[in-house]
């Protein structure tokens, strides 16, 4: 089949599109959309279906309207990766404007929500691609005992104090800052996180933005990776990517994590600040055990490749008689 992604973001172009390509399909990425090139790309490529993802540079309100006008004769699939936090303020208005033929959502609980509104829908989780999310030899510039790769999102967390990410950061990162344990922090806006964490992060710990294609270098070069979670019922994109890149992951103890991985064997979980301190101290001293769990985690994540996700998408669309 011919599959067109109306995307320009490296995050979305270096995952699921590769999965469809691995299955033998012809895949094209649009790159930045304009009013003129949107219909032209679709007409010239003549895709079997069109995919658009999340909240990025190609999903502005103006571009949503262009996409709607240009896809009236083609099957449009939308992957709602901002669910459930932004469902009402972002996903639903987008769906109303773009009118996709099928919606995949990160939130299992929202599948029936969409179906009850006449929108064909299924659950679709994140994954990883082995060409990108892979272990490499440790690199000096990225070496660290403990690292975290994530954006801070201070505005979102201040506006939503009950968001689980607040709790996850309180358990995973705050106790290390409180006890002056050095953590290398990669990502945006960490210099604005004192209202959330209660502590200013030392400037030497803030490493700034890292490109999506370079994140695996941090995962491969750090003894421990902290992985904050956003929800109890689903896992972050980086959960899969860290494990696939051979990272040793300590994350929040949630039902979603336990559903996917075996704590203590493939992944390490923490339920309290005190436990995080104990776990980091223990595993920094126990390299052999750390290495065993790291390898088992990398093996356990293999079923979650984007090739398998792409195969699942095709089966869903066949059941919906869209292809």
Please report the pLDDT score of residue 197 as a whole number: 94
Residue 73: predicted pLDDT: 84
Q: What's the pLDDT at 213?
A: 96
The confidence score (pLDDT) of residue 116 equals 96
- Report how far residue 130's alpha carbon sits from residue 91's, in angstroms, rounded to the nearest whole number: 29
Position 323 scores a pLDDT of: 85
> What pLDDT, on the 0 to 100 scale, is given for residue 34?
95
Where do you find CATH 3.40.50.2000 in the chain?
2-127+305-319, 140-303
Neighbours of 5 (CB within 10 A): 23
Tokens representing 284 are 């920094």
Residue ranges of alpha helices (H) inside 90-246 are 92-98, 111-115, 154-159, 164-172, 174-178, 194-197, 215-221, 237-244
Residue-wise pLDDT for 251-289, tens only, equals: 999 999 999 999 999 999 999 999 999 999 999 999 999
- Which pLDDT belongs to residue 189? 96
Q: What angle do CA 43, 12, 163 make, to 5 degrees?
A: 130
CB 3 within 8 A of CB 23: no
Q: Computed from CA positions of residues 283, 288, 289, 292, in that sequence, does the dihedral angle turn out positive or negative?
A: positive
Please state the φ and ψ torsions of residue 135, each to the nearest 5 degrees.
Answer: -80, 135
Degrees to nearest 5, angle at CA 54 with 8 and 31? 10
**Tokens for 6?**
């109306």
pTM for this model (two decimals): 0.95
CA dihedral 118, 89, 158, 165 (to 10 degrees): 30
Q: What was the pLDDT predicted at 72?
A: 86
Are the C-beta atoms of residues 80 and 158 closer than 8 Å to each other? no
**pLDDT at site 299:** 98
> For domain 2-127+305-319, is the CATH number 3.30.70.890?
no
**Residue spans of the chain under pLDDT 70:** none
Fold of 140-303: Rossmann fold (3.40.50)
């Amino acid at each position: 089949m011919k599959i067109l992604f109306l995307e320009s973001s490296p995050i979305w172009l270096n995952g699921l599109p590769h999965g469809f390509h691995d299955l033998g399909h012809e895949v094209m990425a649009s790159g930045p959309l304009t009013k003129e090139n949107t219909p032209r790309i679709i007409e010239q490529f003549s895709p079997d279906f069109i995919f658009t993802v999340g909240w990025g540079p190609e999903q502005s309100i103006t571009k949503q309207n262009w996409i709607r006008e240009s896809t009236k004769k083609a099957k449009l699939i939308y992957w709602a990766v901002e669910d459930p936090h932004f469902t009402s303020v972002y996903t639903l208005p987008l769906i109303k404007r773009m009118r996709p033929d099928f919606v995949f959502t990160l939130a299992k609980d929202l599948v029936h929500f969409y179906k009850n509104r006449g929108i064909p829908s299924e659950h679709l989780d994140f994954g990883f691609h082995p060409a990108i999310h892979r272990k490499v030899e440790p690199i000096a510039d990225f070496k660290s005992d403990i690292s975290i790769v994530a954006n801070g999102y201070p505005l979102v967390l201040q506006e939503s104090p009950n968001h689980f990410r607040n709790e996850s950061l309180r358990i995973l990162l705050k106790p290390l800052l409180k006890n002056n344990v050095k953590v290398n922090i990669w990502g945006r806006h960490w210099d604005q996180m004192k209202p959330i964490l209660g502590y200013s992060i030392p400037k030497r710990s803030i490493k700034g933005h890292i490109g999506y294609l370079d994140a695996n270098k941090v995962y491969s070069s750090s003894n421990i990776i902290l992985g904050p979670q956003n929800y109890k019922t689903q896992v972050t994109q980086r959960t899969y990517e860290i494990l696939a890149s051979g990272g040793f992951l300590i994350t929040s103890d949630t039902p979603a994590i336990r559903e996917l991985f075996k704590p203590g064997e493939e992944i390490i979980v923490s339920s309290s600040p005190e436990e995080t301190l104990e776990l980091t101290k223990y595993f920094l001293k126990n390299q052999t055990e750390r290495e065993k769990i790291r390898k088992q985690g990398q093996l356990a994540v293999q079923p979650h490749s984007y090739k398998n996700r792409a195969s699942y998408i095709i089966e869903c669309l066949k059941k919906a008689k869209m292809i």
